[in-house]
Amino acid sequence: MRYFPIFLDLDDRHVLIVGGGEKALQKLRLLTKTTARLTVVAEEVEDGLADLQVQRPFTILRRDFNESDLDAAALVFAASDDPELDRRVAAAARAKGIPVNVVDGPADSNFIMPAIVDRDPVVVAIGTEGTAPILAREIKAKLESWLPAHFGRVAQSAGAIRQKIGEAITDPVLRRRTWETLLQGLWRQFVLNGDPSGADRELTRQLDAARNEATPVGSVALIGCGPGEPDLITLKAQQHLQSADVLVVDRLVNPAIMEYARRDAIRIYVGKEREGDAALQDEINRTLVREALKGHRVARLKGGDAFVFGRAAEEMSAVRAAGIPVTVVPGITAAHACAASVGLPVTLRTKVRQFTVITGASAEGPVEVDWSSLVAPGQAFAIYMGVRTAEHFRERLLAAGAQPDTPIVIVENGTLSNERVVSTRLSLLARAIADKGIVGPAIIFVGLDWASAGLTPPERVELYEPAAQGAAPQSMISQTHSTA
């Protein structure tokens, strides 16, 4: 290791930047985050640099550099666009024993700047000793997405409660366990969400548990994992997965998503084949409570979004009734993901003003809804869990006055490698599902098509239109929906 990484205390120290152009500006953007005294020396100064001075005052000397500028400097940046001047600055600084960095001139520098991930006061510095800055940038990009935006708040808040915890819990083992629970669990989430009263409540709960030498109380996060494609989970979901002790996993969650979880996390699979299996839902509720009461951080992984046909309310009530805190992490729901995957907008200015999501199945059997409102002009909707009840939908919608050629798009296994898209019309809905062998999971879009949006369907769309049945699906709304 030729370059030794250190963090330098620049509070109230003099830092000199020679140059007033883009290079100097780039350094200043970082340096203005510090509490150093900054001086820029340059005959000409860019507007952006002067703008920066408004946000965070520093000195600008509009003249040529002279050696006396180095007096009292703790650090020097030679950042002019004149290589000769930069070399002169570097030589003078080195002669006085002042660390100097020449931008784009490692040979004249005696320190180099790392790539930085800034979550003040947590700062990650990444260096490659100048060999491959692109690698440093790649690591930085990964860390930027991995570390929550407000991660620094967690460190600041931890600093603020350190003394309180030290006084409340004297046993070092218990203290360490409590810190782990706070920093990886719900307390941290409250802090990240900017909810100080939630964080205080959670701190009190954990301190009480520690005083009674009880197991720290666990928590449950209901996490929407999106439609299946692993990249379609949120950063927040990923962060929860990384800290969870127990994963309670739904049938439709892609196993690839488990790669984001800790290897030692306990995995409990609780797939429901059919909607409305009450006994199984009770068992899931009991599992969540049981695992959280052991002190575990439980991640309840659900397909799509937990609040869309996800029975989240039942799980939240059961968990809350047991005195366990619960948070919800939104996910991309199947209808939106499937629509995006096949390039099908779900609303259209002037044509589709209302987009509804409907479940095709319920505990009581096929659903009954206000059919006439669904076939009114300007409506479109997505049916979830509708593969088995497609014939019921077809009959009810036609009876309510929907046009037989209302466009239908069926997306099966949306966003996954085995995704299929079938396009047909309402009168053929159930036949298309049977003949094309659609078994689900699938979203059935009613009243949406590409033509109405001025788009052409992707090539992979399978058109289901048996010859005897007449014209292909028309563009929607004016032609397809009842105007009665």
Q: How far apart are CA 189 and CA 4, in angstroms?
A: 35
Count of alpha carbons within 13 angstroms of residue 2, beta-carbon side: 8
- Catalytic, 272? Answer yes
**C-beta of 187 vs 309, nearer to ligand SAM:** 309
Query: Quick one: which of 248, 409, 442, 448 contacts ligand SAM (CB under 6 A)?
Result: 442
Sign of CA dihedral 435, 405, 477, 481: negative
Residues 379-398, one symbol each (x = binds ligand SAM by CB under 6 A, - = not), give -----xx-------------
290 CB contacts (<8 Å, ≥6 apart)?
Answer: none
**124, 70, 122, 119: which is closest to 97 by C-alpha?**
70
Q: How far apart are CA 386 and CA 411, in angstroms?
A: 11
Which one of 331-339, 397-405, 423-431, 446-454 is the stretch in contact with ligand SAM (CB under 6 A)?
A: 331-339
C-beta nearest to ligand SAM: residue: 304
> E strands, 70-202, where?
73-78, 100-102, 115-119, 122-126
Angle between helices 22-31 and 47-55 (to 10 degrees): 10
The β-bridge partners of 248 are 268, 300
Q: How far apart are CA 295 and CA 396, in angstroms?
A: 50
Tell me: does residue 440 bind ligand SAM (CB under 6 A): yes
Instruction: Report helix, strand or coil for 407.
Output: strand
Residues 240-279, one symbol each (x = binds ligand SAM by CB under 6 A, - = not), give ------------x---------------------------
Tell me: does residue 346 bind ligand SAM (CB under 6 A): no
Which one of 27-35, 120-128, 297-305, 315-323 is the stretch in contact with ligand SAM (CB under 6 A)?
A: 297-305
Place of tokens 């590409």: 450
Which one of 54-62, 106-114, 299-307, 450-458 is the stretch in contact with ligand SAM (CB under 6 A)?
A: 299-307
Q: Which residue of the set 250, 305, 405, 449 is catalytic?
A: 250
The residues in 39-98 that bind ligand SAM, with binding defined as CB under 6 A, are none
# of chain residues touching ligand SAM (CB under 6 A): 24
Shortest gap between Cβ of 410 and ligand SAM (angstroms)? 9
Burial 178-191 (b: 16+ CB within 10 A, else e): bbebbebbbbbbbb
Which one of 3-11, 24-32, 126-134, 406-414 is the stretch in contact with ligand SAM (CB under 6 A)?
A: 406-414
Query: Quick one: which of 31, 45, 426, 443 contacts ligand SAM (CB under 6 A)?
Result: 443
Query: Quick one: which of 216, 304, 407, 473 contacts ligand SAM (CB under 6 A)?
Result: 304
Tell me: does residue 333 bind ligand SAM (CB under 6 A): yes
The residues in 409-428 that bind ligand SAM, with binding defined as CB under 6 A, are 411, 413-416
Which one of 46-54, 58-66, 303-311, 396-404 is the stretch in contact with ligand SAM (CB under 6 A)?
A: 303-311
Q: Determine whether 121 is exposed, middle or buried from the number of CB atoms within 10 Å of its CB (0-12, 13-18, 19+).
A: exposed
Which one of 82-90, 212-220, 262-270, 437-445 is the stretch in contact with ligand SAM (CB under 6 A)?
A: 437-445
Q: How far apart are CA 67 and CA 14, in angstroms?
A: 15
Tell me: does residue 330 bind ligand SAM (CB under 6 A): no
Shortest gap between Cβ of 124 and ligand SAM (angstroms)? 35
Tell me: does residue 315 bind ligand SAM (CB under 6 A): no
- Catalytic, 250? Answer yes
Q: Specify the DSSP class assigned to residue 416.
A: S
Q: How far apart are CA 7 and CA 308, in angstroms?
A: 47
Angle between helices 196-211 and 172-184 (to 10 degrees): 150
Tell me: does residue 188 bind ligand SAM (CB under 6 A): no
Q: 382 and 407 in contact (C-beta within 8 Å)?
A: no
- Tokens found for residue 176: 């360490």
Residues 216-235, one symbol each (x = binds ligand SAM by CB under 6 A, - = not), give -----------xx-------
DSSP-H helix ranges across 333-401: 334-341, 371-374, 390-399
**C-beta of 98 vs 409, nearer to ligand SAM:** 409
Tell me: does residue 300 bind ligand SAM (CB under 6 A): no
- Tokens found for residue 178: 């409590």
Instruction: Kindly list the residues in this chain that would bind ligand SAM in the complex (CB under 6 A).
Output: 227-228, 252, 302-305, 308-310, 333-334, 338, 384-385, 411, 413-416, 440-443
The catalytic site residues sit at 250, 272
